[in-house]
Amino acid sequence: MSSKASSGKGNAKNKNAKAGEKTEADIIQEQKEEIKKLKLRIETLERYMVLRSEQTQKARASEMEMKSKLSQLDEDFEKEKMERFHIASDMIRQYKALQKTLIEKLNASEQKNTSLADQLHLAKVALHEVKKEKDQIIEMKQREIEEQRQKMQSMVVEFSNMLKETLAKMGNTIQQEKEFQDDSTYNLVNNSRLLDFIPPEMIQNLKMQANAPPLPSTSHPTITTSK
């Protein structure tokens, strides 16, 4: 009833209001419309806030996921980097070890080649010395042989001359013996002289011939010579 009374009063006031002026009801209606608009706006803002909150949560979740993935990627990257570092270090270590081994083998080969070259040089020098010594020995032996040959030739010539001289003297002596066979004293003297010119070997040969059976008077004694 009070509302009816108030509405009645309002109507009365509206009736009493001047034309073109807002009544209290209009103002209230406008306020209600404004409040309604504000409520709609608040609801919109709340829905927007909820949406933004959800988006923020999703963004945070996505950010966390991205951070987790990034952290995992960083971890994987560091792990792979360490693995590659270890692999590279191992390869470098193997390369250095292989390089060291090859250098040692190369040095050993160079030392061996140097040693073999030195040995070859020493062997050549020794061979040259041996050849030189051998040539000197051969030359010395050849000189000795030549000297012996010359001595033998000289001795042969000397013996041949002595033999010729002896034969000539013996021939003269034999001729003289034929002429003076009756003179024994002369024969003894000539025989003693003849002995001075005859070598001892020939004297021994003559003695052996003297003890042999007598030969005919027309024959001459034969003397053999050996070269």
- Residue pLDDT, tens place only, 166-190: 888 887 877 776 666 555 555 555 5
**Mean of the per-residue pLDDT values of the chain:** 77
Q: How far apart are CA 148 and CA 17, in angstroms?
A: 183
Strands (DSSP E) contained in the chain are none
Per-residue pLDDT for 213 more than 80? no
Place of tokens 């009374």: 5
Question: Mean pLDDT highest for which of 13-22, 50-59, 87-96, 203-212?
Answer: 87-96
pTM of full prediction above 0.95: no
177: tokens are 């013996």
When pLDDT is averaged across residues 77-94 and rounded to a whole number, the result is: 89
Phi first, then psi, for residue 74 (nearest 5°) are: -60, -45
pLDDT at 221 over 70: no
